Chains A and B, each alone.
Chain A
């Protein structure tokens, strides 16, 4: 990594609140691409996460946005210790937890829990709900027997499930109820950090609101810190204190929620925001969508320079040559950082530029 990005790490870390629960420094996660067969040569790397830094203040919610393949979930799994990190550092509550062995990680497992995307895949279909929610107690040997059952039933009640359904199987619950089971399991050990990996993406809109409200209530009551991953921008706006936008394994833009949503500086953020559906038909009709060309490039062979440049309506020569540092742009607050050579200015018509670029192709 270059000096600029190291400097950006410092700014992003120092400019936030002092009481930081989770800090990620320059995290890199490459998956080797190997040939098939017995002699498996490594022929390349999927650069899933390539030098990402984050800081999540205690008791706050950081929203992580990006399209499929941007490395959000990989980043989450690296923080949760489910994937070994290629390089970089994850600090939790002041302790370095990067690449700890399973045994050394156990105390931190109690503090860091995850809620998964798929409410059908994340619950073992052959085990009863009581056993699933009681798993954290069983694994960490905290409470057992009737006390465990009592605690599990308390948890079920807390997340809005009927404690009588202790003996049911996951298949007997609806998607929203299943996600509540996942929340209860994550909550069992009273963690400090809950990583929500697209917790509501698989749910109906009406159910989404219920689960989001439940998460908000739990945050208020237990002082939880959330890393909230989603591709639904409105959901992220609803829950987050600050937002990080990822593109192809890098941070494109980060900052407090309102400035990022009101005045996005990175063309990618602007395009994402313009694509989000609006509830008001008049607003939707008058809005100009920035339509990007092409798909997200392969993370095995990412574009040179700024990774967004092949799709960017504002891309120039410089963008394909030089990697833009993540830094404060003119007119932004001290915590609003953008990795772009030519950030979006107020009143600029990106939609027209994107359309012109499409026509040119």
Chain B
């Protein structure tokens, strides 16, 4: 090939990177498989809608003319001062005990929940990956210290610590984010450390060392890309647990403080009214359930999509799967039972001869 040809190609690569990429990266393949997984796609849609509603919460409040923290004693409460039900007086999901719009408050609560879930998971993931990589790559004393620290954090009764901190420092968003982040990095670290221990023995790591690459270049450029798949799956599964943790703290009154809305403190307030206002408990609980379920299902979907071995399983229809199981059951009843394993005495251990 001539020089001009080479330059032409170089220009083509620069001009249209998308076209030049003939090879499909791991992410492209994962995305293709994920798109074929109906449950994961549904979960993604639910998450996108939930995030959209959280972002649009002020707009929704403006639309229904009910700011989140304003009580409407005249229209939002009935004659005896109890909440009004859904689709009453312009309150689509009813009101809470002080006559505030429940729907608007749930969407404002979603802002807090999703923000806490995503921020703490991001912090936990970064810290977890960094600690895991350092422990796994350097090994030795560094690894021993960090690994024991990881074990200690994982063994800690985190709800008790969170409660103690919230009482001592006083409840605030910062404390919540700090506490949840602190308890989410260790699990990720442990996985990353284990993976790093095996990846650092690969020949391409030795190749990088023979080129003169330093430890941090090897950790972040050579090892990290091989870790992203499990880390992504873990992170997706950590978001819902962080959301639930935040709700737990708020429910116990140590998280987000009223009047700021959060799913946890709405549920806490609702428990006194479940006999007269079912919607007050059901709708925030549903929001929490749907959101955590969607993140969990998406995490499972990503995990399946990352692992090509599960592709067949996803593609298999239930009928074929059942037939296969039946076939296997029939096979199991046949020859394998007729010819059981030979008795062990047939082959004495070599060392005893």
Interface residues, chain A, CB within 8 Å of chain B? 77, 80-82, 102, 105-106, 109-110, 112-114, 116-118, 121-128, 135-136, 139-140, 146, 149-150, 153-154, 157, 163-169, 172, 182, 185
Contact A149 B204 (CB under 8 A): no
5 residue pairs from A and B, CB less than 8 Å apart:
A109-B211, A136-B211, A149-B10, A149-B13, A164-B9
Distance between Cα atoms of A153 and B212 in the complex (Å): 22
Contact of A139 among B13, B23, B211, B228 (CB under 8 A): B211
Distance between Cα atoms of A157 and B3 in the complex (Å): 11
The verdict on A153 contacting B23 (CB below 8 Å), with A114-B210, A126-B225 known, is: no
Contact of B209 among A82, A150, A153, A165 (CB under 8 A): A82
Contacts of A124 in B (CB 8 A): 204, 208, 222, 225-226
Check if B6 is an interface residue, CB within 8 A of chain A: yes
Check if B338 is an interface residue, CB within 8 A of chain A: no
The verdict on A167 contacting B211 (CB below 8 Å), with A153-B6, A154-B6 known, is: no
Contact of A166 among B13, B208, B209, B210 (CB under 8 A): B13
Contacts of B204 in A (CB 8 A): 121-124
Q: Enumerate the 8 nearest inter-chain pairs by beta-carbon distance, A residue then B residue, closest first.
A: A109-B212, A121-B203, A126-B225, A168-B23, A122-B203, A124-B204, A114-B210, A167-B21
Contact A127 B203 (CB under 8 A): no
Interface residue SS majority, chain B: helix
Contacts of B226 in A (CB 8 A): 124-126
Distance between Cα atoms of A112 and B21 in the complex (Å): 32
Distance between Cα atoms of A341 and B10 in the complex (Å): 62
Cβ-closest chain B residue relative to A168: B23
Contact of B206 among A82, A109, A126, A139 (CB under 8 A): A82
The verdict on A102 contacting B211 (CB below 8 Å), with A163-B9, A167-B20, A172-B23 known, is: no
Nearest-CB distance from A149 to chain B (Å)? 6
The verdict on A116 contacting B23 (CB below 8 Å), with A80-B210, A164-B9 known, is: no
Nearest-CB distance from B43 to chain A (Å)? 26
Interface residues, chain B, CB within 8 Å of chain A? 1, 6, 9-10, 13-14, 17, 20-23, 25-26, 202-204, 206-214, 217, 221-222, 225-226, 228
The verdict on A163 contacting B23 (CB below 8 Å), with A109-B212, A123-B204, A124-B204 known, is: no
Contacts of A165 in B (CB 8 A): 22-23
Contact B10 A150 (CB under 8 A): yes
Q: Which of B1, B210, B217, B222 has the most C-beta atoms of chain A within 10 angstroms of its own C-beta?
A: B210
Contact A140 B212 (CB under 8 A): yes
Contact A185 B10 (CB under 8 A): no
Contacts of A81 in B (CB 8 A): 210
Contact B1 A116 (CB under 8 A): no
Contact B208 A135 (CB under 8 A): yes
Contact A116 B20 (CB under 8 A): no
Contact A185 B23 (CB under 8 A): no
Contacts of A118 in B (CB 8 A): 203
Contacts of A150 in B (CB 8 A): 6, 10
Contacts of B207 in A (CB 8 A): 114, 116, 122-123, 182, 185
Contacts of A185 in B (CB 8 A): 207, 211
Nearest-CB distance from A66 to chain B (Å)? 20
Contact A82 B210 (CB under 8 A): yes
The verdict on A139 contacting B203 (CB below 8 Å), with A157-B6, A172-B23 known, is: no
